[in-house]
Amino acid sequence: MIRLYHNPRCSKSREALALLQEAGAEVEVIEYLKHPPSAAELDRILTLLQLEPRDLLRTKEEEYETLCLDDITLERESLIETMVDNPMLIERPIAVSEDKAVLGRPPEKVLALLQH
């Protein structure tokens, strides 16, 4: 089972979902703008991605500037909470399996979760 944090309005996200479905993967689609991950879930996803919160922030969103997220003194926990409270700031799509995660940029990267 692959959990896909998905935004149906995003072409890259739709592409990633189509690739997984075409490959026969069982996919749980989570529209993260409606159902954002908890702070604990997002922390786990970041750990699996081997990324820091800043690496997953959408810096071109208006909220990025409004919330002064370019402040380098902001700590990991604070950034994660901000992302949970403002899920549009989370880069997409993110595909998560039991013990791996990938950022679907480009969308073909999600297929790596199907390899053993």
For the annotated catalytic residues, the residue numbers are: 10
CA dist 67 and 48 (Å) reads 26
CA dist 111 and 80 (Å) reads 26
CB 5 within 8 A of CB 94: yes
CA dist 17 and 97 (Å) reads 14
CA dist 12 and 70 (Å) reads 25
Beta bridge partners of 77: none
